[in-house]
Structure 1
Amino acid sequence: MISNHSPAELFEKRPTHFIDIILLVGRHKKPLFAGAVVGCVLGIATAYSLPKRYTASAVILPPQPEKTALSGLDALGDGLDLSGALGAKNSNGMFIGLLQSNTLQNLVSKENNLKSYFNANNDQDVSKILEKNVEISTDKKTGFILISVKDRSPAIAATLANSYVKELQVMLGTVAMTDAQQRHVFYENEIKKNQAKLSLDQSQLDSAMRNSGFVSLEGQVTSVIRDTATLQAKIADGEVQLSSLNTYATDENPDVIKLKAKINALKRQLSQLETGNDDVQKSGGDLSAISTGRLVREIKYDESVIDQMRKQLEIAKIDEAKQGAFVQQIDMAVPPIRATSPQKMLVISIALLIGSTLGLVFSLFKTSFSDSEDFREKIGSLRKAWSWK
């Protein structure tokens, strides 16, 4: 025989058996099912009243690292891995950063007149809307980048996803052109400065040789001159690459930090080399010979640097003529047929669970308070107080 205990008494008993829980739910099955029905109805109404949203996706393959003309700078020697800095430009992280940048969002906005479509006041509002509705992700296995756009219109979602790919290609072309132009101008200016310095050094050497005669450089000094010119060329190339990185990366970027450290290391090597060369020349004895030898060294150094700069200028001209990195679109975004949200069954299930729970909790509290004599007296007094009779 099942005892007629109140819900509170059932939970106060220890241990609580599974049959007690079933009994408790069975006694309150009416409010439980009533809450479930109400929750189900409200869930259905909510699921079908929420606006539909569609997701369109485009898949791209970013440009892969390759041996370009500029990557030939690694042949200058150890100490500065410029291809590592260039590799940052070809990494998925960099392309995802470009796709999420305000510049590209503004290009997409202007291309599709999104300010009017979203009824936004300014470009910042459009960017916030795009950040909420556009997801950029990468597949670590394939290296593909997925651009997913959500919108209430399937056609607009597909158009925006494809527009991101189009504007990314335009931006890459602009960045590549700007990079090559920067190097072109830099090397032209450096060649002019070194040619002016070479002309001055040659004039001074002619004057010195008329006074002290011809001076022949030893093999050690010749080697130092060659090494100095090579280091100077590396430093110049590294500074150009750093300037290019700064066009899209901050000072906290790992590649920028790494490149700065390598440039500083090269400068220290150059300083040590020049100091050692001065010591070698000072040990020679004759001050006039030392002065003439230093001028010869400077001339050979200037000629070597100018030669390196001319080679890099030709490389910059070749890169300037290119169209920039090419993004391959693996899958075009097409208007989706089915909406991705709201997920009707999920909404209805949650509403059903909440309704059932609220119905059961309400019934338990009602029963617990109804069994209390003090509670019944207060309810009676409350009715009398608000009665009009």
Structure 2
Amino acid sequence: MSTLPNSGAAVAAESAITLSDYAAALRARWVAVTAVPLAAAALALGASYLVTPTFTARTSFMPPQQQQGSAAGAIASLGALAGLSGSVRNTGDQFVTFVQSRTVADGLLQRFDLKTVYDEKLAHDVRLKLADRTRVSIGKKDGVITLEVDDESPQRAADMANAYVEEVRKLTAGLTLTEAQQRRAFFEGQLKQVRAKLDSAQAALQGTGVSTESIKAEPKAAVEALAKLRAELTNAEVRLQMLSSSLSSNTPEVQQQTAAVSRLRAELNRAGQAERSAPGGYVGAYREFKYQETLFDLIARQYELARVDESRDGGQLQVIDVAQVPERKSKPKRSFFMIAGFALGLLLMGLQTGRELKARREQRAA
């Protein structure tokens, strides 16, 4: 009874395949072990020639700066209305989004007839293929945007990469121009209204006489301060109107501007109480004239800035490297095909050798 387990263990020991046995079997059939992986590598290399080559074109560019130095200085001097003249702030991340937008993709779809190129009937499928063949990245330190496009035609790959930059320029130019047009039209209407009021105030001032009592009152300093305060209040109200048209009343910007308007109104009420005791006639006409003159100056400067922004070409991209026609294909990598074929052939020979060794040991054990 006790010999049965021992005999079973002996059979298992005899049927076990050791590493030395495996190495010996491989050496015994070294010709096949060498020839089969090499043949598989050759076949994989031949198959790689059947794969349509892909070429990659690359371009890189810098997004425009957020603000020019001279414009920033002019805007900073405008006081309460400075926030209305800010230009479009295009960061690198925004331009990456522009590159990946449907508008830009549709522009390339029409320019290169990508439905025919990609053999697709639906524009949606063309956009997916285009996105799969396009890679865009932005440098973390320098902010340079790199754009790569894959295509079977090296010339078309370069043309599409450069076309991406052109389409992004069109998109950003339209966005900037639309915003500048809105500001220009708004301040143009305000300027007409203030000019009419300024002419009326000037006529009223010329129609008043300067009496001795008015001269003794020395109204110039007080009236100019009051006119400046009223102009600031009007400016703040205009800014609140612009913010309220695009933001909710619960946003911090609107609440902060509302508080500024309330503060200016309170100061104006206090100044108005003191001004009521001053002589009328010339004082009132002079006060109204200085108010309209100050307001006209502020809005005129805003209007000129808006006209300058409208005349500029929005989204001036600074292209660093224009995409050139690639001279070498990027896919397929024939060396990868050869290595994969050789490894597959070697694996198959190893498995085949192991199965044969196992079969022989089982026959001997039986």
Pairwise same-fold verdict (TM > 0.5): yes
Q: Distance in 1 between matches of 2:292 and 2:62?
A: 44
Q: Secondary structure at the match of 1:338?
A: coil
Deviation at 1:152, TM superposition (A): 0.4
Query: Which one is further off, 294-303 or 69-78?
Result: 294-303
Q: Distance in 2 between matches of 1:267 and 1:343?
A: 64
- Say whether residues 1:44 and 2:45 are aligned partners: yes
Deviation at 1:296, TM superposition (A): 10
Residues 36-94 of structure 1 deviation map (CA, whole Å, 9 limit, x = unaligned) = 345424422332221100111223343334236477322234897678x64722x3223
Residues 210-268 of structure 1 deviation map (CA, whole Å, 9 limit, x = unaligned) = xxxx999998997576356436536746976998xx9xxxx9xxxxx9xx644542332
Give the aligned length: 337
Query: Which amino acid in structure 1 is aligned with residue 297 of structure 2?
Result: D
**Aligned runs of 1:156-175 on 2, under 5 Å?**
156-175=156-175
Query: Which one is further off, 35-44 or 181-190?
Result: 35-44
Query: Unaligned stretches of 5+ in structure 2?
Result: 1-11, 203-213
Contact 1:58–1:146 (CA under 8 A) maintained in structure 2: yes
- Determine the structure 2 residue equivalent to 1:272: 263
Query: Which amino acid in structure 1 is aligned with residue 232 of structure 2?
Result: T
TM-score, normalised via structure 1 length: 0.65
CA gap of 1:87–1:146, structure 2 versus 1, over 3 A, is: same
Query: Which amino acid in structure 2 is aligned with residue 178 of structure 1?
Result: T
Residues 298-357 of structure 1 deviation map (CA, whole Å, 9 limit, x = unaligned) = 997666444322221122223223333433433332222211111111222123223323
Query: Unaligned stretches of 5+ in structure 1?
Result: 11-19, 203-213, 252-256, 378-389
Contact 1:198–1:299 (CA under 8 A) maintained in structure 2: yes
Q: Secondary structure at the match of 1:49?
A: coil
- Determine the structure 2 residue equivalent to 1:312: 302
CA gap of 1:269–1:357, structure 2 versus 1, over 3 A, is: farther
Q: Distance in 1 between matches of 2:324 and 2:355?
A: 54
- Determine the structure 2 residue equivalent to 1:120: 120
Q: Distance in 1 between matches of 2:200 and 2:14?
A: 108
- Determine the structure 1 residue equivalent to 2:89: 88
TM-score, normalised via structure 2 length: 0.69
- Say whether residues 1:109 and 2:109 are aligned partners: yes
Query: Which amino acid in structure 2 is aligned with residue 75 of structure 1?
Result: S
CA RMSD of aligned residues (A): 4.9
Deviation at 1:359, TM superposition (A): 3.6
- Determine the structure 1 residue equivalent to 2:340: 350
**Aligned runs of 1:21-32 on 2, under 5 Å?**
24-28=22-26, 30=29
Q: Distance in 2 between matches of 1:226 and 1:7?
A: 105
Identical aligned pairs, as a percentage? 24
Q: Distance in 2 between matches of 1:358 and 1:297?
A: 99
Q: Secondary structure at the match of 2:262?
A: helix
- Determine the structure 2 residue equivalent to 1:341: 331
